[in-house]
């Protein structure tokens, strides 16, 4: 069976898309195959087929934390947008598939008076992406609410307990073992007061709007915070707030956000981030490390 026929029989297939279309910073070259599997079993079938055929692949959520290269990707990008089902389990935990958009999930839980994801309600990614990054805000991280993670590897699904995921600041075992594909998880969710939960989420959303340039294409925060201070303070300290290089701008509103202000390329983003790192290192002897994934660069 031809690759196009196989992929289209197991998912929604696109042949005319680029990374500009599927990443929040809107940067990147064309993609040979873009497929969204209909369900978890179809995902397994697609991945098995791609491996057997020697076709390289990349899994993405909403593309909110990645910058992709400008050259064409001669492989298959797998989007998990159809893996967005959830259900409550007998032990009180919440089962959620990896393609669920986290702000949507947080809002659904809030309307039912369920607490646990308020801290992540403004992070515009999928559950799988947030687990991969151990994303966090307001002194909470995904590791604080994840009980177990369902992964796919070598043709099998298996559960990993929280302690098996090696969570640390913006890191997890999934960085080390790229063969582990996050497909679902169990979350610790507790009963709360609906109005209080919704008020807290509304307050934090307003704070984000006041302090972050949400109206421009970006990947959110570019650099991890060093142990000594916030990354944005170092960037501001070397006078780079508002700095521009080609299609990239260091945000006036939040210097740790790099914005696509035109037809930016991946090389512009990388050059700007390297320039920032060099300036901060020279001024403060502090090493900044990106929390953004660079792919096909």
Just list the catalytic residues: 170, 221, 291
Write out the DSSP string of 39-89.
SHHHHHHHHHHHHHHT--EEEESS-TTEEE-SS-EEEEEEE-TT---EEE-
For residue 96, count other CB atoms closer than 10 A to its CB: 24
What does the block give as tokens for 230? 């916030």
Q: Give residues with Cβ within 8 angstroms of 30, minimum separation 6.
A: 16, 17, 18, 72, 73
Q: How far apart are CA 292 and CA 294, in angstroms?
A: 6
End-to-end CA separation in angstroms for the chain? 31
Task: Please state, in angstroms and rounded to a whole number, the distance separating the CA atoms of residues 250 and 260.
Answer: 9
Residue 145: helix, strand or coil by DSSP?
Answer: coil
Q: Collect all residues with Cβ–Cβ distance below 8 Å to 280 and sequence separation of at least 6.
A: 234, 235, 237, 238, 286, 288
DSSP state of 162: G
Strand partners, 295: 68
């Amino acid at each position: 069976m031809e690759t196009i026929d196989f992929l289209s029989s197991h998912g929604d297939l696109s042949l005319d898309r680029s990374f500009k279309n599927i990443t929040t910073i809107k940067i990147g070259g064309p993609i040979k195959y873009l497929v969204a599997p209909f369900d978890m079993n179809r995902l397994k079938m697609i991945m098995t087929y791609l491996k057997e055929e020697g076709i390289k692949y990349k899994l993405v959520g909403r593309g909110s934390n990645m910058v992709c290269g400008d050259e064409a990707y001669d492989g298959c990008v797998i989007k998990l947008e159809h893996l967005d089902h959830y259900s409550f389990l007998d032990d009180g935990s919440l089962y959620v598939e990896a393609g669920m958009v986290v702000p949507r999930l947080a809002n659904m839980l809030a309307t039912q008076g369920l607490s646990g994801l308020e801290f992540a309600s403004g992070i515009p990614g999928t559950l799988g992406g947030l687990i991969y990054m151990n994303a966090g805000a307001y002194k909470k991280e995904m590791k604080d609410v994840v009980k177990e993670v369902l992964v796919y590897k070598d043709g099998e699904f298996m559960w990993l307990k929280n302690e098996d995921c090696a969570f640390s600041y913006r890191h997890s075992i999934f960085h080390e073992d790229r063969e582990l594909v996050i497909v679902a998880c169990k979350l610790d969710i507790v009963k709360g007061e609906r109005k209080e939960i919704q008020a807290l989420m509304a307050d934090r959303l307003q704070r984000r709007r006041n302090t972050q340039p949400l109206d421009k294409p970006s990947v959110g925060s570019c650099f991890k915070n060093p142990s000594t201070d916030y990354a944005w303070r170092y960037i501001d300290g070397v006078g780079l707030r508002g700095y521009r290089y080609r299609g990239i701008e260091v945000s006036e509103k939040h210097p740790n956000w790099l914005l696509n202000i035109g037809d930016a390329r991946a090389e512009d983003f990388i050059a700007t981030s390297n320039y920032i790192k060099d300036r901060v290192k020279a001024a403060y002897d502090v090493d900044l490390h990106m929390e953004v994934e660079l792919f096909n660069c």
